[in-house]
Amino acid sequence: MKERILFVDDEPDLRELVRINLDKAGYGVELAATGSEGLEKLRASKPDLVILDLMLPDVSGTEICRTIRAEPGLTDLPVIMLTALAEEVDRVVGFEVGADDYVTKPFSPRELVLRVKAVLRRRSAVDSEPVLQHGSLLLDTARRRCSVSEKPVELTAKEFNLLETLMKRSGHVFTRARLLEIVWGSDIAVTLRTIDTHVKRLREKLGEAGGFIDTVRGVGYRFSDRTLQEAPCPGSSES
């Protein structure tokens, strides 16, 4: 069965161009011209991925993404944001509301198709594997066990959940606010600095594998897809 993509954008020519290219890549494609139409189609029949334009005539793409992440049955839906804006703040906002990736206009249809394939491939791997592994680091989500180079690593519940969140969406940049929402939920007693403290302790416990957790300066954290040889020392940051 074809994987289904919903593309929400108010430009008719762009909608048709993207539809043609996604169709050629083997995907089933649905189109929506407004945010409200997109939400209606999402709720009627959940697709495998949604591509959202940031600037829609009625509801912004960020608001739709927030709705998706908060609505039961849609929270795990992969989202790619399209934006004509290239400012860092727009990328940060996109990641903050839970987007899996973003593409800046103008873009080549081939690039978008490759991004779609990458996001769906990552999600498929996560859904089918209860054990997450990268290099020497192994995380058994069913048994709640962690090891590095086959040596057990004792993690607190929050540290385990934090590492699981990062590993399940390897390469995705999480803002501190988003990690706080996912891992701590409604616990209003914690602050954004709590994330930094837990990441620091997590890196220390993971030892050499702590280098897989990247700091993205001004944004937050991500789990790298690099090898240990390529990974920076634990605690290092990017500009």
- The tokens for 50 are 């949604």
pLDDT at 143 exceeding the cut of 90: no
pLDDT at 17: 95
DSSP character at residue 211: G
pLDDT at 231: 46
Tokens 């706080």 label which residue? Answer: 180
Which amino acid is present at 51?
I
In total, the chain counts a number of residues equal to 239
Better pLDDT: 174 or 7 = 7
Cβ-contact 22, 113 below 8 angstroms: yes
In sequence order, the β-bridge partners of residue 215 are 221, 237
DSSP character at residue 181: I
Q: What angle do CA 118, 137, 147 make, to 5 degrees?
A: 145
pLDDT at 141: 84
pLDDT at 205 exceeding the cut of 90: yes
Helices then strands, counting H and E runs in the chain, come out as 8, 13
Q: How confident is the model at residue 127 (pLDDT cuts 50, 70, 90)?
A: low
Domains, the chain, ordered by start: 4-126 (3.40.50.2300), 130-238 (1.10.10.10)
Burial label, 68 (beta-carbon count in 10 A; 0-12, 13-18, 19+) = buried
**How do residues 164-183 score in pLDDT, each as one tens digit?**
999 988 888 888 888 887 88
How far apart are alpha carbons 213 and 163 in whole angstroms?
9
Q: What are phi and psi of 40, to 5 degrees?
A: -60, -45
In sequence order, the β-bridge partners of residue 101 are 80
Average pLDDT over every residue of 206-214: 94
